[in-house]
Structure 1
Amino acid sequence: MNHKETRDIRVLALGDDRFSKRKNLRKRLRVMAEIAVVALLLFILYDLFYSLDTYKPYNHDEVAAGDTDTGFVALSYFGVDHIGDTSTLIGQKQLYKQLQELKKQGFVTITQQDIKDYYQQGRPLPQKALYLMFEDGRRDTAIFAQPILEKLNYKASMMSYGENVESMDLKFLKPSELEELEDSTYWELGTNGYRLEYINVFDRYHNYIGEIDPLRYAMLTPYLERNYNHYLMDYIRDKNGVPKESYGHMKRRISYDYEKLKDVYTSELGKVPGTYVHMHGNTGKFANNNAVSAVNEKWIRELFPMAFNREGYCFNQRNSSIYDLTRMEPQPYWPINHLLMRIKYDINTPIDFVSGDASRQDAWNLLAGAAEIENETYTLTTLPEGEAVAEVRESSSLPDVKLSTKLMGNAFGAQQIFLRSDSNRENCLCVELINDQLVVFEKHGGARRDLYQEKIPVILGETISSVEEKKKEAEVQENLTFARYAKTKEQAEEYYGRAKKREEMPAASIADGAEPYDHVQSFHRRGDHQLDIDLKGGRLKIRLDGKEVPQPIEVTENGQGSIFLGASWQGEAWSQRNLADDVYDAVFDKFTITTNTGKDKEKVLFTTELSGWNKLLFQTGELWDKVLFWFLRNA
């Protein structure tokens, strides 16, 4: 071996050694981080199941019967996790913020026994009585909700499905854990039924799918609307709506679920839970069909002392049956004022809205709705089926401006910016994102003139699919879904074959003259768009997510005027849950106004962005949440 080869080997060995040291260091750091996360979770679990605190109920002797039936509010959260980054699970901080505010405004939690006494004995409830539920019996819900209940001295019912209680799925609480929750005194037990399953399912293209479980439902949700039913709510029907089962078979099928529910809870917990949530309600009875309703009603009255048979509204009074209670399901994206607005107009009782940073609210003149400023975000919450409007104070002398903000309200609804506006917005220029479109209009003496309107996907250069292409996509995915969860290899191969065959079939595009895909938006779909406005003289330039609107928009030069922000509810959206949400939130993040002189650096006239120490604290908190989120998802 020559000298050069020896030197190369030494260099390689040294490189390998350095690489190994770096690799081992990364491994040690990762292991230490994972140990820290596991230790934190173990501590939370220990604190959850071995807390020494106990729930202290309200003093019944201090509640006097009055002339007015104040009833009670029922809220039902689907579940809780740490961050709240899903479409169904609320974050721990957001849940605490909501319940803390209800506590501050005098809401007192009541129990199942309180509800029974209210209906059966005529016993009065506290003026602001709250019945709190968490659905699905999720383990993460117990972990993250328990500390909040303890801190606020609130009590809740943990709902569960009998099928999940006896399953091996660790996502759901098991019998011993449910008993420990009940022993903590902060929880009671309820049930959503034995199983969560869907029947008579059609996709949005009217293709018959049939019966699906939650796993298939989750994969097919993008292709469904409201044309399906819950397992207990109807006969099982074919594609023509004709029952595929006799009355006797339907009765045995539904009765089996209640009998199974009774057996599971009785054998595992020694009793049937005291509250039942009938999935999915709002039929005016106990099913869509009278015969099916009669079977459900018989079992519900036999097994349970009370039942929630409606959803959407939160207020219950004595004029409704204890077997026809209603609950509201707050969504993870609801700002605090959305919840308060819904409750206020359901119970028709004064409620204070949350303004956030009071010192920074002085820069705004709220004219309608509710407004909160938190960190760098200004949120407007509409009145039910109405609007919210706020004026930027001292903005009346700004004819030419540049404006930027990130609009984070839901896609269905209107987030508006009014420029050069008079006090009544009868003369103004308006830029709005409404129902997934960018719209520009101006008003003169109240008369509206539209200047620009385009779908946001078109502006962003996204490919617009045709109805045929979307239908093909749905049919391929439906077959792949059934293949994935097929019971036999032969069935899986059959569905895979169908998916492949459909994939190979052509579908006409818009370029071929096919109809564009343009279905009604769900009001749950989130929005997130950066909007930049450049207004100077009679010319308006707009950038959306970095994309310029093709041509400058010619506007009328009507002199100076104020800047207003607006939110407007739109009434044509659909939802697969919570059918009666009539409130909308416009969310303006980092809202900034500058001069428009043409200089490289314009003067900031107004901004919701933080600065200095407050900015550093906010960014540090955001970074910590991102790091924790990463470990929770990847550890």
Structure 2
Amino acid sequence: MRKFFRYLLQYAILAVVGYFIYQTAFKRDTPPVHDRAAWTQRDGFVALSYGGITIDDHVTSLVSKNLLREQLQRLRQAGYQTVTTADIVAFYEQNKPLPEKALYLMFEGGRKDSVLFSQPVLTGVGFNAALYLYGDRLNGWNRFFVRRSELNKIASNPFWDVASMGYHSKLINQTPTGGYAYYLTERLRGAPGGTEETQAAYIARVTEDFRLARQSIVDMAGVTPLGYVFMPANTLGVSLPEAEAAPNATALAQNFPMAFTRVGETYNPRDADPRRLTRLQVSPNWTADRLLLEIEARQPKSRFMDFSQSVRQGLWQVPVGELDAAGDRLTLAGPLGKDGFARLRGSEGFDNFLCQVKTTPPVGGASAIYLRWRDAASFVRIRTTAERVMVQEKNGTSLNTLFQYVLPQERSGPVVYDICVKGNRLLLSVDGKNVTSYPIPLLAETSRGSFALGAFDEEGATSDPAVFSDLSLTTFPAHWVSAPGINDVPLGQARTLTSVVLPAETLKGDPLRDAAALITAAANGVSVYLDLAGSDPATIEETASFVQSAPGALVFSKLLRGFVLPLGGLDDLGRLDTIITALHAKGFSVALRVDAAGQARLLEADFALKPDWLLFDTPPAADDSAMIPLENRFDRSHMLFRAAASAGSPTISYDVKR
């Protein structure tokens, strides 16, 4: 009887392996369809991650095959389309577009069941996925993990990408109490009383592990892995000490163009660091409806109407501290002696926005309003104490105070803010008073980020929370006006006006007067462009040189944002590209004015022009399909169309397509 069961087990194993090979190599399913010529979205993508998959619906530690099918079917019905690892790399490195609801599907751990049981589900919904695995598990025999002989078949399967979670999977530095560390996050400790691994040896070990992680897949699968998952999550770039983080970051950059280092959030915006991406690990007990709700709570949003319900709706990510809501009040408190922080989910794509909020800092501490938060090394914030207001910007290791305002001693109650952020300018009102006569300039590197709140315990003893109330936040798209002169632009009503286009020839008439005009526009946070439409290449180059050498050139170089160049009037697109490149090198932005003939010419051209903006002298076409080829090549959020003008108005407005 024992012999019979041994044979039965062997045949079962052979059957499973045969089925596995059939599923991953010989079955000819229709591959996923990726209509990349029709993709136009450049905002970001959703990343979902699964561990192993089981066929037993009663196993609570893994997502069942039936649940996976239900979830992926619902995602497809909701309009999601999967993308490959190469698509994500091209999105970040080449500004290539993605589909409207781009989904990157991941299976971590390199388990056989991930491929065996999910393959028919992927086939049924037309999705593809990426398998992330450890390199040292590819050799030898095991029941759970993909082996070398199977990896090659998976890599050639159109439903799968192969990516890495590192090479060595074993934990290190285990202690008698059961503690341990991941292979890349600590130096090796010797026996009790022995010496610890030197920094040089640690760097060499980390460097070699990343090399092996990539090379093992190259050797065994014949493909170069593009993606990497760093374990454990939320350490690299977050909590890992610099001595350990720096070698990991360097080796990662040398071997992989893309990496997931965080979990908890699912949306990755276009301005994210491609080696600091985040994914949502799907819980085994989530229904399809719950998964869609979790994704929706983390999606980008353009407007938040009811902040009194924002906590209940799960709009806030609170990694440190506790956030509570009572009516129109939000209170944020950190653990005793630590700072609290709460990030508004879905706000990572904010560019231009208005914010009104009242805040009361904790006694002996400070409250903070983060206008653009990427991470602890990149943000813009307004910090409030009982005595003063400070606008601070951090880019890298340097924290700079851009502006300070001392609050009147006799004031009481919350500090009332009215904030406008436009591009790289911040307009600030405190307690109904415009405290700066000129917009506060922001660095290009902090041009986008999430909205967040902070609470600081400066004395290490306060238990009071920071209070925020009457909070409203509204984004607005780019809005340009072309006018004969600055006096024709209603700057007093131009809070949501982002740019003004002025004729270039006026500068040569009275440069000092026009320098004053630039100052007037800049004081309202409006970027100024000079219109060179209709000019030949020689005139364009001459004007650009004049701007930098004329009287008042210092003002011009600081306040002039860029130039509007003609498309229709230039036959040599190569020379136009040279001019654009030269202006970019001088720090200027470039917009192309495109008439109807120019639009057709732009569609036909195979030359890779790289303007920052396109100004169409026609309204958007009723048939959106006519613009898809251009939206595929250019950022549609930087494509502006001529709006209907009022009779007798000297100005022309340009807006994004609604």
For the aligned pair, the TM-score class normalised by the smaller chain equals 0.3 to 0.5
The structure, 1 or 2, with the larger RCO (C-alpha pairs under 8 Å, 6+ apart) is: 1
TM-score where L is the length of structure 2: 0.42
Give the number of the structure whose residues are more often helix, by fraction: 1
TM-score where L is the length of structure 1: 0.44
